[in-house]
Amino acid sequence: MNENQIGVLVGIVIGVLLVAIIVVVFRWLWNTTMPEVFGVRDVTFWQAFKILLLAGILFGSHRVVEVPRQVSVDPEAIAAQSE
């Protein structure tokens, strides 16, 4: 394995661990709050993962940022004007 492959593998492992940590924290928050407040059932790890995935699809992670035409045409000219 070369350095790029090792870097990609480490990145994937770190990404999976971060997602797992976020899901565990979400699950803990759900299970300590929602049953007491609304009387709903506890959720499992995979249910929490699916809820977060749905929330990401519905409420974020797909927004497009539009770049003003001036910046996309000549960014150096815009930078020179602001100095």
Q: For the whole prediction, is pTM greater than 0.75?
A: no
pLDDT, residue 60, reads: 80
Q: Give pLDDT, residue 57.
A: 82
Residue-wise pLDDT tens digits, 41-83: 999 999 999 999 998 888 885 666 666 665 555 666 666 666 6
User: Which comes out higher in pLDDT, residue 33 or 80?
Assistant: 33
Q: 38: domain range?
A: 3-82
**Predicted pLDDT of residue 1:** 78
Rounded to the nearest 10°, the torsion over CA 16, 17, 20, 24 is -170
Q: What is the mean pLDDT of residues 24-40?
A: 93
Other beta carbons within 10 angstroms of residue 27's beta carbon come to: 20
DSSP 8-class letter at 83? -
